[in-house]
């Protein structure tokens, strides 16, 4: 795995206040996972340790990507100003941010908020799984089509709960076959939500449905990236 750069560490300290490099913040519908179709406020952090071939937010991982420096209070105040209760922390890779644990604890103190953190599967979630009001985790499993499968940490599956999700982003039948193997090996369908998500433009959703029928994949969900069907697939801030 590539070492973290200063930009990827993200949370810088100014006058002893943790600052996070936020490249986007916006309200839209949640396009994926267990709350798909519901309103959510998104906080996108700068920087990632992976380089997936199909990544649609590569711009957010560039060292030159513009960002807003925000403290925990800034982030919380923005979230509350939206009036939206579902919160998605995304990236990039949010769990690589220094002081992300304190931010999760800060947000978790507000019982009116539902906190979800999207993580690429290469970072251990154990340090954050014991937070008093833990977030729900949406864990990617990067398949062969991503070029990043060697970095996946399956030990994370010990800490999964029903509110969590494992997402397999698939671009081919071989990706689907591998996903089924992982699901069965770790009994993921009994632990959490399991989703098969099509790489936009690479595999037809109908082909995934046919595969699910052929393999009798009960308790596994097909997922489409809603925002790419509602808006231009390259549109940001949605």
pLDDT at 230: 67
Instruction: Tell me: pLDDT of 13 over 60.
Output: no
pLDDT at 65: 93
Confidence tier at 15 by pLDDT (50, 70, 90): low
What residues does each domain of the chain span? Answer: 6-230
Q: What is residue 31's DSSP assignment?
A: -
Nearest to 162 by CA among 32, 29, 30, 33: 33
Mean residue pLDDT of the chain comes to 90
Give 118-152 pLDDT, tens digit per residue: 999 999 999 999 898 999 999 999 999 899 999 99
Q: Please state, in angstroms and as integers, the Cα–Cα distance from residue 57 to each residue in 1, 48, 85, 102, following that order.
A: 19, 10, 24, 25
pLDDT at 227: 66
Burial 118-136 (b: 16+ CB within 10 A, else e): bbbbbbebeebbeeeebbb
Write down the CATH superfamily of domain 6-230. Answer: Aldolase class I (3.20.20.70)
Pairwise CA distance, residues 238 & 92, whole Å = 16
Give 39-63 pLDDT, tens digit per residue: 999 999 999 999 998 888 888 999 9
pLDDT at 233: 61
Q: Which residues contact 74 (CB under 8 A, 6 or more apart)?
A: none
Give 157-211 pLDDT, tens digit per residue: 999 999 999 999 999 999 999 999 999 999 999 999 999 999 888 899 999 999 9
DSSP bridge pairs for 26 = 42
pLDDT at 181: 98
Confidence tier at 229 by pLDDT (50, 70, 90): low
pTM above 0.75, yes or no: yes
Q: Are 86 and 38 in contact (CB under 8 A)?
A: yes
Confidence tier at 1 by pLDDT (50, 70, 90): very low
Average the pLDDT over each of 153-157, 196-200, 234-238 and give the range with the smallest value: 234-238
């Amino acid at each position: 795995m590539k070492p973290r750069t200063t930009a990827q560490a993200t949370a810088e300290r100014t006058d002893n206040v943790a600052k996070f490099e936020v490249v986007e913040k916006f309200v839209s519908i949640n396009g994926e996972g267990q709350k798909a179709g519901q309103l959510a406020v998104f906080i996108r952090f700068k920087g990632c340790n992976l380089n997936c071939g199909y990544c649609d937010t590569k711009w957010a991982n560039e060292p030159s990507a513009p960002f807003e420096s925000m403290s925990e209070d800034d982030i919380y105040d923005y979230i509350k100003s939206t009036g939206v209760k579902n919160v998605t922390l995304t990236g990039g890779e949010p769990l690589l941010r220094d002081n992300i644990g304190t931010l999760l604890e800060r947000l978790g103190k507000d019982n009116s908020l539902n906190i979800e953190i999207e993580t690429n599967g290469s970072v251990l979630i154990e340090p954050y799984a014991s937070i008093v009001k833990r977030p729900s985790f949406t864990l990617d499993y990067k398949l062969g089509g991503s070029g990043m499968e060697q970095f996946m940490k399956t030990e994370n599956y010990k800490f999964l709960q029903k509110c969590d999700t494992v997402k397999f982003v698939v671009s081919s039948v071989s990706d689907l076959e591998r996903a089924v193997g992982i699901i069965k090996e770790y009994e993921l369908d009994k632990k959490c939500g399991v989703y098969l998500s099509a790489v936009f433009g690479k595999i037809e959703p109908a082909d995934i449905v046919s595969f699910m029928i052929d393999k009798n994949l009960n308790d596994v969900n097909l997922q489409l990236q809603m925002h790419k069907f509602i808006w231009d697939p390259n549109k940001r801030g949605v």
